[in-house]
């Protein structure tokens, strides 16, 4: 099975960005952990980051027929982007929403996710471990899909 990890704006700054909130692991560290867990579970992974909403929309559109599951940390676009929401709904590839921080315990504007209604579930609040848990959730979601 193939999993597409997409990371939104400012996640390229992990490691130096608000370490009190997001920790000190870099996105490259997180990718390494994801690849290790994926290897154990015999899943293939593509791992991308963009600061541009349109690029993320393009990658979601291209995922159809190429990836079994999308794992999306849309970062700030989680709370603002109807375009990402519509892309997920249009493409129909099962998508898991993830966050490093527990968005529900933070500022009120982070409590609302525009993408949550079109995602199969959300993982938030476990720091870099949210990504590793998302590999496991992807394998589960893919198995469930096959069972019909
Ligand atoms: C985030 C949470 C978002 O609210 C924020 O805008 C981010 C990161 C997280 O992973 O905790 O950039 O998605």
Helices 53-62 & 82-91, crossing angle to 10 degrees? Answer: 10
Q: Residue 98 belongs to what domain range?
A: 2-147
Q: Whose C-alpha lies nearest to ligand 1, atom 3?
A: 75
Exposed/middle/buried for 148, CB within 10 Å: 0-12, 13-18, 19+? Answer: exposed
The number of distinct structural domains making up the chain is: 1
Q: Whose C-alpha lies nearest to ligand 1, atom 1?
A: 75
CATH number at residue 61: 3.40.50.9100
Q: How far is the CA of 9 from the centre of ligand 1 (A)?
A: 9
Taking the C-alpha atoms of residue 14 and residue 139, their distance in angstroms, rounded to an integer, is: 26
Query: Can 111 be counted among the known catalytic residues?
Result: no
- pLDDT beneath 70: ranges in the chain: 148
């Amino acid at each position: 099975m193939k999993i597409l990890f997409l990371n939104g704006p400012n996640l390229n700054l992990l490691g130096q960005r608000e370490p009190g909130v997001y920790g000190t692991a870099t996105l490259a560290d997180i990718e390494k952990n994801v690849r290790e867990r994926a290897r154990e579970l015999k899943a293939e992974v593509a791992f991308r980051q963009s600061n541009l909403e349109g690029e993320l929309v393009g990658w979601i559109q291209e995922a159809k027929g190429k990836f079994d599951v999308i794992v999306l940390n849309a970062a700030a676009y989680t709370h603002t982007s109807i375009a990402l929401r519509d892309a997920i709904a249009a493409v129909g590839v099962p998508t898991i929403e993830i966050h490093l921080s527990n968005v529900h315990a933070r500022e009120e504007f982070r409590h609302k996710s525009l993408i949550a209604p079109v995602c199969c579930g959300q993982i938030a609040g476990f720091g870099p471990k949210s990504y590793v848990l998302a590999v496991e959730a992807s394998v589960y979601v893919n198995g469930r899909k096959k069972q019909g």
